[in-house]
Amino acid sequence: MNIDDIAKLIGVSNATVSRAINNSGYVKEETRRKIFEVIEKHQYVPNAVARSLSTRDTLSIGVIIPDIENEFFSSIISGISEVAEQNHYNIHFLGSNETLGIEHAFLDTVQGQRLSGVIITPISEVDPITKARLIHLEKSGIPVVLVDRDIDDAIFEGVFVDNIAGAYDGVNELIKAGHRKIAIIKGPETSKPGKERLIGYKKALEEANIDLSCEYMVPGNFKIMHSYKGTEVLLNLSDPPTAIFACSNMTTLGCLKYLTEKKIKLGKDISLIGFDDIEILKLIDYKISVIDRDAKQQGREAMRLMLERLKNKGEKKHTRFNVPYQVILRGSERLDR
Amino acid sequence: MNIDDIAKLIGVSNATVSRAINNSGYVKEETRRKIFEVIEKHQYVPNAVARSLSTRDTLSIGVIIPDIENEFFSSIISGISEVAEQNHYNIHFLGSNETLGIEHAFLDTVQGQRLSGVIITPISEVDPITKARLIHLEKSGIPVVLVDRDIDDAIFEGVFVDNIAGAYDGVNELIKAGHRKIAIIKGPETSKPGKERLIGYKKALEEANIDLSCEYMVPGNFKIMHSYKGTEVLLNLSDPPTAIFACSNMTTLGCLKYLTEKKIKLGKDISLIGFDDIEILKLIDYKISVIDRDAKQQGREAMRLMLERLKNKGEKKHTRFNVPYQVILRGSERLDR
DNA sequence: CTGAAAGCGCTTACAG
DNA sequence: CTGAAAGCGCTTACAG
């Protein structure tokens, strides 16, 4: 059942049916009524693939996110979807699972499907293939909007957070609470959040005249198990830290897992501040201090930026901005003595 | 840049380029080499929209899930994606946000986009519009696979869990622990899990000769706040229950939120068993007993069922089965006296 | 207010 | 091994 079948059934041309469906151009009221009657009766739904080919517009946005099981990203998606829906855009969600190969393949999918735009949290800031494909997308008229993570040289639009200031403020709270031996479980330094949160950490220590110690800066990749091991390394140092700055929600969880297993008491044996809040822990009033921001809002803003681009036929205004963050102190930054 | 441009650049016909790209039919080795050279050089990616229109196959599966911020569903999606990727299918993820209107619109999208199939956790078992659209999809040759929730009359294939047995076993553990005053925070009775878990609960009580009390059966909709309020109602009864069966992970969380706020101690003042585990609570060793199953595996199985249907050109074998569940006791089902 | 016709960018039997 | 041509199901200037 296609548009020609519908047209034949009524005795008009497919052009007329098309006009009625799309509410474009004139159609006699009676004809229009008949058309919708037949459509209704046969439950005809126009073929969007054909429509897209003809109009050269898919009205769909690709969303590429590294980890769908991370609540931060599900909130982002949720925000994007909300705004997309209101504006009658479909979203094609693609989870890269923090794997570059998958990310590359998805970028090809975006190109192949001729999606209207792509919103992406790229895994790495320096991966040349992702960068090249994103540039190529823009060249082919498919706007790119970044969320939270960046690409080399800041050439794309995007919605971020001030990681440096956030980390700085957070670590400062640890210092204010009397800590001098402050460790960091880092994020990947090939990502904007990983890189910048480390900068904020260093800046806070330096201003407080605390010497930086390599031993106190352990690598991480925003994954629970990696952070678990990082915590283990830290706490087995001959001179262990008294406080830890965990660079993401997953990092915080890995850290908590280790502390829990070893029965090391938060706020008593060790202090902790994390980046990004953890909803479930709030519900059960498990108190960890965090630097937080509204991820859903960040998703909404990203989609709005995309709509802006789309409205201006892809013209880039180079809009890049941060959503606000806040430091939420719940006590885990202190030691009760 | 389209296939004709590529063809012209080399001096062959578009048919030849198409054959080379799709590795179908013969193409002289030298011609093939030249073609890929040019494709590489211009970063040409074939237009999948045109291809789909021509082949009448999108190689994409629609996935409609009610709540992306629920870890149960993100695991399902994760399992579906894994198997889809291995088999070179794209997935179009659509979050209905437990809203029927959105679900209906998405089903139209699936139809309109002529997706190859749809995997859905329908919000309600009895919604006539969803049911009609699913039937229509099957009629148009788009296979439907259900995950976890069902549609009236069990007319579709799907992957579920034995909710009755699971709930029965779980509640039995409460009874074994000495409880007689056992409440349930229900799921929507218009959904298979909601309905069946209630049946399992009743069955366990009846077999133990415990009278069913209406007061002990409070409604719920698998949402945190609803369950929070349900818990409040239960604990303010003149004769409150000593144990609660929470019908989903979100239900458990709402319950925990209330208990936490009121400083009611789990395993001391009240017992609890929930349906579906909560990953983060495991990490911090917050002990709640649950009936659990492997959601990711359930997603994988659903996608495999879909592949099976697709391979048999949509022929329905009426495969419906359950993934196994297990009861995990961590102490919250008992009262320490 | 309506229709004929070209075009969107592919694929694929068919003929050679 | 390759090309001409029809077709997938729409949209949209153009003409009337």
B27 touches strand D (CB under 7 A): yes
CA B37 to chain centre: 44
- Find chain A residues with C-beta within 8 A of B49's C-beta: 49, 52-53, 58, 113-114
Q: Which helix (H) or strand (E) holds A250?
A: helix A249-261
Residues B285, B302: one domain? no
pLDDT given at position A30: 87
pLDDT given at position B271: 97
Tallying the residues shown for chain B, one arrives at 337
pLDDT given at position B314: 63
Q: What is the mean pLDDT of residues A96-114?
A: 92
pLDDT given at position A317: 79
Residues A232, A319: one domain? no
Residue A274 domain flag = yes
pLDDT given at position B318: 82
**Nucleotides of C strand lying within 7 Å of any protein CB atom:** 1-5, 7-13
- Find chain A residues with C-beta within 8 A of B53's C-beta: 47, 49-50, 53
pLDDT given at position B168: 98
Task: Print the SS3 string covering A162-192.
Answer: CHHHHHHHHHHHHHHCCCCCEEEECCCCCCH
pLDDT given at position B317: 78
DSSP string, A280-337: HHHHTT---EEEEE-HHHHHHHHHHHHHHHHHTTT-----EEEE-EEEE--STTS---
**Nucleotides of D strand lying within 7 Å of any protein CB atom:** 1-5, 7-13
Residues A283, A308: one domain? no
> Model confidence over A42-71: pLDDT tens digits?
999 999 999 999 999 999 999 999 988 899
B56 touches strand D (CB under 7 A): yes
Contact B261 A52 (CB under 8 A): no
The number of folded domains in chain A is 3
Q: What is the mean pLDDT of residues A120-135?
A: 95
For residue A47, what is the nearest residue in chain B, using CA coordinates?
B112
pLDDT given at position B27: 85
Residues A254, A133: one domain? no
Please give, rounded to a whole number of angstroms, the shortest distance from the CA of B211 to a CA of chain A: 32
Residue B284 domain flag = yes
Check whether A83 has a pLDDT greater than 70: yes
Contact A284 B260 (CB under 8 A): yes
Residue A300 domain flag = yes
Rounded CA-CA distance B96/B76 in Å is 15
Contact A102 B85 (CB under 8 A): yes
Contact B260 A224 (CB under 8 A): no
pLDDT given at position B252: 98
Rounded CA-CA distance A118/B127 in Å is 34
Residue A334 domain flag = no
Please give, rounded to a whole number of angstroms, the shortest distance from the CA of A296 to a CA of chain B: 11
Residues A119, A167: one domain? no
Contact B48 A113 (CB under 8 A): yes
- Closest of A234, A180, A231 to residue A204, by C-alpha: A180
pLDDT given at position A94: 85
Residues 34-73 of B with CB under 7 A from strand C: 46-47, 50-51, 53-55
Question: Which tokens is B325 given?
Answer: 């569940």
pLDDT given at position A196: 97
Rounded CA-CA distance A156/B132 in Å is 44
Residues A89, A137: one domain? yes
Residues B98, B191: one domain? no
- Find chain B residues with C-beta within 8 A of A108's C-beta: 45
Cα torsion angle, B239, B241, B246, B250, sign:
positive
Please list the ranges in chain B whose pLDDT falls under 50. none
Residues B97, B122: contact at Cβ < 8 Å?
no
Residues 23-42 of A with CB under 7 A from strand C: 25-29, 31
pLDDT given at position B290: 98
- The CATH number of whichever domain residue A316 belongs to comes to 3.40.50.2300
> Model confidence over A19-39: pLDDT tens digits?
999 998 888 888 999 999 999
- The CATH number of whichever domain residue A23 belongs to comes to 1.10.260.40
pLDDT given at position B36: 93
pLDDT given at position A226: 96
Residue A51 domain flag = no
Chain A interface, best mutation among B39, B40, B45, by max A CB count within 10 A: B45
Residues B9, B64: one domain? no
Q: What Å distances lie between residue A233 and A215, A219, A333, CA to CA?
A: 9, 11, 20
Q: Residue B305 is which amino acid?
A: L
pLDDT given at position A29: 87
pLDDT given at position A78: 92
pLDDT given at position B320: 95
Q: What Å distances lie between residue A159 and A219, A274, A335, CA to CA?
A: 25, 21, 35
Cα torsion angle, B198, B200, B205, B209, sign:
positive
Residues B174, B234: one domain? yes
Percent of chain A exceeding pLDDT 90 equals: 85
Q: Which of A92-96, A151-155, B3-7, B172-176 has the highest mean pLDDT?
A: B172-176
Residues B99, B195: one domain? no
pLDDT given at position A336: 79
What is the span of the domain harbouring residue B99?
57-161+295-325
CB-nearest partner of B77 from A53, A68, A108 = A68
Question: Which tokens is B189 given?
Answer: 């009775």
Residues B280, B262: one domain? yes
Residues B189, B101: one domain? no
> Model confidence over A191-204: pLDDT tens digits?
999 999 999 999 99
Q: Where are the beta strands (DSSP E) in B121-214?
A: 144-147, 157-161, 182-185
pLDDT given at position A314: 63
Rounded CA-CA distance A274/B35 in Å is 52
- Find chain A residues with C-beta within 8 A of B87's C-beta: none
Tallying the residues shown for chain A, one arrives at 337
